[in-house]
């Protein structure tokens, strides 16, 4: 079947409630492992179907936010997911308090019960109205960005399709296009501030009602962080600040020199080379064929995976009006397939989608038959290891996409990974400050962001962008609004992915084997356990960042960037 043929049908909520009540009653009455697992599997089947319907709605709504049917269905799920969570919470409590719980561990890994504990601590029926409000605000943010109509040189663009002009070879074009895109955020500054201000208040109220001092504690539980703490994250951020920021600063200095400027203006940040950034060589169809060839040559497993993606049309990659911004990978549980959403725009980011999001999709494909569906995906920071590492595993095939610009792409790709990490920890640090100080006004939040930005990204030159100079860059970062505390996950995974890059550079014969093994594990272990199982050093270990970044810096320093 193709994705377009997957049937969506809104569940009858009253019937759903009846099913859950019956299953919960039977689960509570089960007095032995066999009876308990029989009911649990029925619950899993029901959850899988509900998740499938919700995901189909979410994907189709993000593909076209102007579709009235799926827009209304999206509103239904925003309203009803918190109500469904009430029943899931009751199921979780029965499972967690099961007197013979340890007998279940051979069929349900212990990590599942650790995740259940997070769920129990982070949810109560009394916060359902607040969760509904949070969902509505998140949807409002997505629709606001999708509504962008940017006038530029006589044509109208959205926030995705304007991007190629912000990377134009002509500096004046870059400047004007960046200013045009930025004007959308400036014109809607009050709306972005209002949405986020309401989000912070709603989340803080949730935390207080659940007995937490601040949303930070609740946010970590909602992110299922069961084996590391805010203190460990703060120590990791310190490593980035001390050991990696200086390397990133050197890269920005080299970039400014290549562009014949003293600093890198905000509209020049994405322009790495005076000869132009590397762009994919070929049509949409040729890029897909290159991906098919790459994955067939990479391994039998990846070959089977890419054939499934192509045959099922399990992606929507082209940018269109009214399509949501960004990219993601999700799964359709009833069909046991992943789905990739993206916005191709003619930049090297198109190839990154075919490696990054495909890394997520491949991991799910390899772990889709884990019998406990919630463990088919790992927690967020672990999931990003698969995607970012796949980007580096794909290096030997980059000539298929970039032809003679392959060396330029590799320098850009590796350098961008280094440059990204200070930004990633900045976003995390900012969110910690926001939720530790929920009383901040919108202006104080922007001041806080700009202060932290000067620590982690001292190269920033906003002399021609008032909104950015006063701390408004984060408006564009959807995770801040829709996935609080998520963003650090990318940097934790990046350090792990760079370890795979180092191993690949050394031609370590076990590198691919360890990566493949990691993909098959899904979420059957917590983050630090998966890292260890893959033969990697934990990012929280003192000295980890320095050991990795030293190897990366050697490669970058030994590349003649001015010749690219």
User: For 462-507, what is each residue's pLDDT tens digit?
Assistant: 999 999 999 999 999 999 999 999 999 999 999 999 999 999 999 9
What is the average pLDDT value for the chain, to the nearest integer?
Answer: 96
Count of CB atoms within 10 A of residue 555's CB? 15
Q: Is 149 exposed, middle or buried (0-12, 13-18, 19+ CB in 10 A)?
A: exposed
What's the pLDDT score for residue 413?
Answer: 96
What's the pLDDT score for residue 373?
Answer: 92
CB environment 239-253: b (16+ within 10 A), e (fewer): bbbebbbebbeebbe
What's the pLDDT score for residue 277?
Answer: 87
Measured CA to CA, the distance from residue 271 to residue 104 in angstroms comes to: 55
DSSP output for 501-526:
HHHHHTT-TTHHHHHHHHHHHTTSS-
Residue 498 is encoded by which pair of tokens?
Answer: 């760079």
Measured CA to CA, the distance from residue 196 to residue 149 in angstroms comes to: 22
Residue 230 is encoded by which pair of tokens?
Answer: 């805010």
What's the pLDDT score for residue 401?
Answer: 98
Measured CA to CA, the distance from residue 151 to residue 184 in angstroms comes to: 10
Measured CA to CA, the distance from residue 149 to residue 157 in angstroms comes to: 6
Measured CA to CA, the distance from residue 189 to residue 361 in angstroms comes to: 35
Low-confidence ranges of the chain (pLDDT < 70): none
Domain boundaries, the chain: 3-134
What's the pLDDT score for residue 345?
Answer: 86
Predicted TM-score (pTM) of this structure: 0.89
Determine contact, residues 122/131, Cβ cutoff 8 Å: no
| pLDDT, tens digit (0-9, with 9 covering 90-100), for 118-177 | 999 999 989 999 999 999 999 999 999 999 999 999 999 999 889 889 988 899 999 999
């Amino acid at each position: 079947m193709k994705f377009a043929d997957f049937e969506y049908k809104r569940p009858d909520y009253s019937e759903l409630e009846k099913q859950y009540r019956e299953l919960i009653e039977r689960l509570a009455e089960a007095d032995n492992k066999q009876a308990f697992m029989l009911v649990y599997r029925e619950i899993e089947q029901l959850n899988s179907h509900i998740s499938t319907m919700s995901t189909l709605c979410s994907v189709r709504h993000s593909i076209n936010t102007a579709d009235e049917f799926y827009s209304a269905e999206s509103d239904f799920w925003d309203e009803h997911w918190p109500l469904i969570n009430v029943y899931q919470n009751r199921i979780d409590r029965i499972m967690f308090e099961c007197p013979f719980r340890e007998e279940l561990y051979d069929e349900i890994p212990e990590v599942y019960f650790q995740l259940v504990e997070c769920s129990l601590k982070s949810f109560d029926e009394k916060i359902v109205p607040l969760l509904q409000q949070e969902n509505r605000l998140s949807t409002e943010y997505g629709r606001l960005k999708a509504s962008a109509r940017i006038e530029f040189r006589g044509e109208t663009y959205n926030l995705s399709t304007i991007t190629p002009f912000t990377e134009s070879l002509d500096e004046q074009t870059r400047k004007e296009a960046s200013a045009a895109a930025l004007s959308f955020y400036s014109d809607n500054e009050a709306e972005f501030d209002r949405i986020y201000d309401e989000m912070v208040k709603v989340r803080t109220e949730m935390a207080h009602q659940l007995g937490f001092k601040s949303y930070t504690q609740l946010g970590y539980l909602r992110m299922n962080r069961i084996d590391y703490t805010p203190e460990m994250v703060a120590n990791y951020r310190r490593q980035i600040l001390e050991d990696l920021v200086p390397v990133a600063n050197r890269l920005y200095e080299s970039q400014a020199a290549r562009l014949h400027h003293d600093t890198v203006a905000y509209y020049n940040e994405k322009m790495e080379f005076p000869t132009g950034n590397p762009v994919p060589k070929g049509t949409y169809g040729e890029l897909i064929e290159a991906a098919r060839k790459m994955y067939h040559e990479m391994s039998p497993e990846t070959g089977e995976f890419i054939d499934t993606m192509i045959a099922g049309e399990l992606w929507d990659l082209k940018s269109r009006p009214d399509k949501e911004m960004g990219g993601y990978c999700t799964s359709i549980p009833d069909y046991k397939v992943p789905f990739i959403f993206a916005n191709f725009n003619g930049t090297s980011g198109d190839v990154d989608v075919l490696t990054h999001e495909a890394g997520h999709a491949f991991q799910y494909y390899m772990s889709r038959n884990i019998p406990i569906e919630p463990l088919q995906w790992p927690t967020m920071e672990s999931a990003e290891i698969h995607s970012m590492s796949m980007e580096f595993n794909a290096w030997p095939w980059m000539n298929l996409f970039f032809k003679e610009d392959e060396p330029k792409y590799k320098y850009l790709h590796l350098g961008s990974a280094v440059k990204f990490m200070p930004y990633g920890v900045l976003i995390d640090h900012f969110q910690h400050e926001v939720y530790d100080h929920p009383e901040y006004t919108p202006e104080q939040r922007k001041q806080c962001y700009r202060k932290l930005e000067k620590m982690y990204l001292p190269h920033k030159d906003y002399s021609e962008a008032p909104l950015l100079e006063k701390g408004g860059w984060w408006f564009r970062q959807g995770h801040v609004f829709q996935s609080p505390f998520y963003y650090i996950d990318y940097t934790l995974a990046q350090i792990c992915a760079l370890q795979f890059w180092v191993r690949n550079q050394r031609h370590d014969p076990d590198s691919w084997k360890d990566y493949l093994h990691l993909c098959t594990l899904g979420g059957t272990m917590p983050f630090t356990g998966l890292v260890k199982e893959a033969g990697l050093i934990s990012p929280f270990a003192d000295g980890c960042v320095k050991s990795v970044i030293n190897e990366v810096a050697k490669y970058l320093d030994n590349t003649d960037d001015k010749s690219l």
